[in-house]
Structures are given as C-alpha cells and as structure tokens.
Amino acid sequence: MIDEILPPAVLSAEAFADNPVRPRLFAEEEAQLARWGDARRSEFATVRVLARRALGDLGMPPVAIPRGGNGAPEWPTGVVGSMTHCPGFRAAAVAHGKAVRTIGVDAEPALSLPDGVLPLVSLPEEQSQLQRFADADPEVPWDRLLFCIKEAVYKAWFPLTKLWLGFEDVRVDIDREGAFVATVLAAGPRLDGNRPFSFSGHWLTRNRLLIAAVADHGAGPDPIGDGWPAGIRRGGRSAIGDGGRREDQPAETSGSGPSGPPEVAGASAATPGGCSLCRC
C-alpha cells in the first residue's frame, strides 16, 4: 500500500500485524529493548524485519538498525530510509543515497485528533484549509492528515539538518487528490540554495489508515512526480478502496511519541497511535 505513494527508486515493506513470535534481532537492537514493554518490543522488531526486507531488495545484506542517540534509526552507509508504525500498520522505506536524498514516511489511524490538539500542531491558514476540506469531504480526518504529513516531513528534514522542527515551523498545502507541499519556515541551512525549503509528497487514506510520504531527490525535477509507471494513481481520496479492513489486515496496537521540540511534545503525545522519528 505505501509503495503507491513512493517513487520507483524507493523500496518498501509493510505489515498489518506483528508476528506472534517476536523475530530475533541483532544484539545491539536487543540491548535497546530492555526498558520497554511487550507491545513496544514487538513493533520495534517488526519494523526492523521490514526494513531488512526492503534493504534486501536493494541488494544489501541483513544489518542491525539500532536507534541512534537522537532516536532516529541508524541506516547503513549509503542508504537513506524511514520507518513508521501505528495501530494496524508497520512499514519501512529505503533507497540508495545516490538516488534519493532523504525519505520520510508516517502512518496514523484515520481518526480525528483529540479536542484541543489541532491548534497546537497547525497554523491559522492550515486550519482554514482544513475547514474547507472538511465541509466538502467530512469522511477524511483532515486534521489528523495534517499531523501525519508534518511527522513525515520531520523525518525527512532531520537526517538532512540534525535540527528539531516544531509543528509551527512547517506550513502544509494539501491537495485533496493525494499530494502536498510542505514549506519549512524555520531558520536553517540552505538546501539546494533555497530558503525557505519545501518538500513535495503524497498521501493516501485506506483501510482506516492515513499514510504520508516524502522522498526527496534533491535539486532537479519534482522528486515524487518523476518516473511513475503509467496508470498508477498515487493516493488521496481517489485511492480509497472499500473503506474497510483488508483481508490481510488484522487489528493490533501501538504507541505514539513526540515529533518536535519539547514545547510541542504534548501535542503529539495526545494523539494516540502516532509514530515519530524518536520512537522507531
């Protein structure tokens, strides 16, 4: 499913449940699980199995993917990647660094944000856009989609800059057909000589999930819009299937975590089922 919103240079693997028998991990990965409960251990293990599967498709041998000191996954040299997990979904996406500069993926349950959270994670102009969309298409939880997109953008931004990014530091313009452009408003390094810097990406909603993805090729053509197989639809409302659970999608549980600096941590902590760079 997630491959529908990723370009051909990015390879991915996904699962809709954890294996009842937790797979064996590398020693350095196991060492990081000591303080966690069973559910967190299972999602950590599952997403790393998926990451190694995707790396194998890139032609790479199995390697450990521990969490770094900043919480981000440590990918092999020459590889960029991103992980995500939420109730009912886990995924990893990887690419050769020479082909793709950075990747950010995030999945969320297709549920509205808790009361009071939207003002903490959005700008006034974004709230106006979300209201227009909600009036036209109330079936999509547009507020949670905005949160999901900003999580994906942060995961793409941090490996490039090693800088935190608050929810107020990104302005997202959403296309209802499944695309978005996210402009970074915060001060930071020039990327491709441009400031403010923007990421283009795509999203979809299906099977009670929201998924957003960024895969940036650096300077040059639109990183997502280039090289797609003919006839492939890339998400959005047009990509919704039957709106229910797929046959291969049993239910499960997961956790959430902050995606920005401490002052906005409470916002994402209040959103159940989310994923962030610092918890993968």
Confirm whether pTM is higher than 0.75: yes
What pLDDT is attached to residue 31?
93
**Mean pLDDT on 263-269:** 34
User: Sheet of 79-86: strands edge to edge?
Assistant: 11-15, 89-96, 79-86
Residue whose entry in the numeric block shows the structure tokens 């999509």:
140
Whether 50 and 73 have beta carbons less than 8 Å apart is answered as no
Q: Quick check: 47 pLDDT over 70?
A: yes
93-111 confidence digits (pLDDT tens): 999 999 999 999 999 999 9
164-214 confidence digits (pLDDT tens): 899 999 999 999 999 999 999 987 777 666 666 889 999 999 999 999 999
What pLDDT is attached to residue 211?
98
**Mean pLDDT on 145-162:** 95
How open is the CA angle 251-52-44, to the nearest 5 degrees?
45
Confidence of residue 217 (pLDDT cuts 50, 70, 90): confident
What pLDDT is attached to residue 265?
30
214 DSSP β-pair partners: 104, 201
Domains of the chain from N-terminus onward: 2-279 (3.90.470.20)
How open is the CA angle 165-12-77, to the nearest 5 degrees?
65
Tokens standing for residue 224: 């997502």
SS (H, E, C) 95-111: EECCCCCEEEEEEEECC
Which residues, in sequence order, are CB contacts of 241 under 8 Å at separation 6+?
206, 207
Tokens standing for residue 219: 């300077």
Q: Quick check: 120 pLDDT over 90?
A: yes
What pLDDT is attached to residue 279?
58
Which has the higher per-residue pLDDT, 223 or 13?
Answer: 13
